Amino acid sequence: MTKNMVKIYLKYFLLILGFLWCFQKALAQAPNISYSPSTNAYQVGVAITALVPTNTGGAINSATSSTSVSGPSGMAVNPVNSDVYVTEYGGPTVTYYTSTLTYVNTLGTGYSNPDGIAFDASGNAYVADPSANKIFKVTPGNVTSPLITGLNKPYGIGIDGSGNLYVANTSSNQILKYSSAGALLLTITSNVSTPVDVRVDGSGNIYSLNQGTNNVTKYNSAGTYQSIFASGFNGPWAIAVDASNNVYVGDSGNNLIDIYNSSGTLQSTKSVTDPEGLAVDAG
């Protein structure tokens, strides 16, 4: 499935964006709602007393955005202020929202078709542009400049705790590691097949989301192949890792988000239409 083909079916951005805001709550305690009084006897001619809901379980979280976007693809949360950023592949632009998903503004300029996006601890944004074959850096002051050039359809980008960048160089079947200054540090090709996204966990392990083989391959911090972490997807486009090293995969062709623990055991699935962008915040 090509990127342009997938974009045709992006009609449910509000569902995806709302789901991603409360994504970190996916495994939390569910709400337990009861009403008082729990039973009522109703009599003709007597006004009915309104039921009063009480929640003794987990919190009820809900957020959506009504702002129109064009071809939403990558997503990321800025660790500085928890704002949510969405790349618009068909925009082409990057829009961002408050943590309650109120539209704020656009980020950066000069993109051709922005896709993957990641943030460092200082709030600098890094945007992968597969049409321009570049990685753009956007400062907190909204100054845009090309950081890495000469790539071959880079769709996905990740970042580690030291600020090193990891690029899914899709058409060259590579995962590339760069310093924050844009110097190439590492090239991974073993068992990489049409990688469309990449993430790094808190231990430095690298996860390549391979659309060519519909799986996730895992590498240690030195880039040595470890294993097939998860498989059996259908045109996956997105991957995310939380602070506990749980891994989330947007399995677009199956309309699912699959959630794995750090050992690669499937914990649960969430039904979402065409999940091409995933993000988790620090909550």
Name the CATH topology of 3-271. Answer: Neuraminidase (2.120.10)
Residue 202: predicted pLDDT? 96
* Residues belonging to the chain: 283
- 6 pLDDT band (50/70/90 cuts)? very low
CA distances from 228 to 9, 45, 173, 186 (A): 29, 68, 16, 20
Q: Which of 27, 25, 36, 31 is nearest to 56 (CA)?
A: 31
pLDDT of residue 47: 54
Q: Is the pLDDT of residue 277 over 50?
A: yes
Q: Which of 63-72, 176-185, 208-217 has the least mean pLDDT?
A: 63-72
Share of the chain above pLDDT 70, in %: 76
272, amino acid identity: V
Is the pLDDT at 233 greater than 70, yes or no? yes
Q: Is the pLDDT of residue 158 over 90?
A: yes
CA-based max dimension of the chain: 79
Instruction: Return the domain boundaries, the chain.
Output: 3-271
* Cα–Cα distance, 166 to 152 (Å, whole number): 14
Instruction: Identify the pLDDT of residue 35.
Output: 56
Average pLDDT over residues 148-176: 98
Cβ neighbours, 10 Å, residue 129? 25
- The residue type found at 29 is Q
Residue linked to tokens 């993430």 = 199
Does residue 1 register a pLDDT over 80?
no
CA distance linking residue 59 with residue 26, whole number of Å: 11
| Residue range 70-86: mean pLDDT, rounded | 94
Distance from the Cα of residue 3 to its chain's centroid:
16
Global pTM reads 0.79
Q: What is the pLDDT of residues 99-155, one digit of tens each?
A: 999 999 999 999 999 999 999 999 999 999 999 999 999 999 999 999 999 999 999
Q: Mapped to the 3 state alphabet, what secondary structure does 64-117 carry?
A: CCCCCCCCEEEEEECCCCCCEEEEECCCCEEEEECCCCCEEEECCCCCCCCCCE
Looking at residue 266, what DSSP letter applies? E
Average pLDDT on 48-59 reads 62
Quickly list H helices, the chain. 3-7, 13-21
Please give the torsion angle defined by the CA atoms of residues 166, 169, 175 and 177, in that order, rounded to the nearest 10 degrees.
-40
Q: Spell out the long-range contacts of 204-210 with Cβ–Cβ below 8 A and sequence spacing 24 or more.
A: 204/160, 205/245, 206/166, 206/175, 206/177, 207/239, 207/241, 207/247, 208/168, 208/175, 209/156, 209/168, 209/236, 209/237, 209/238, 209/239, 209/249
Identify the residue with better confidence: 15 or 51. 51
- 8 A C-beta contact, residue 278 and residue 237: no
Q: For the residues 27-54, what does the mean pLDDT come to? A: 55
pLDDT band at 67 (very low <50, low <70, confident <90, very high): low
- 171 — phi, psi (to 5°)? -75, -10
Which tens digit of pLDDT belongs to each residue from 238-254? 999 999 999 999 999 99
Q: pLDDT-based confidence at 281, cuts 50/70/90?
A: confident
Six token digits for residue 196? 């469309």
Tokens 């760069």 — which residue?
178
Closest CA to 157 of 203, 118, 103: 118
Residue 8 has pLDDT above 50, yes or no: no
pLDDT (mean) for 180-203: 98
pLDDT at 53: 67
Mean pLDDT, rounded, of the chain: 85
According to the model, what pLDDT value does residue 17 have? 45
In which band, very low, low, confident or very high, does the pLDDT at 90 lie, cut at 50, 70 and 90? confident
pLDDT over 90 percentage in the chain? 72
**Residue with tokens 């509000």, as numbered in its chain:** 14
Tokens 């091409």, residue?
276
3-state secondary structure of 24: helix
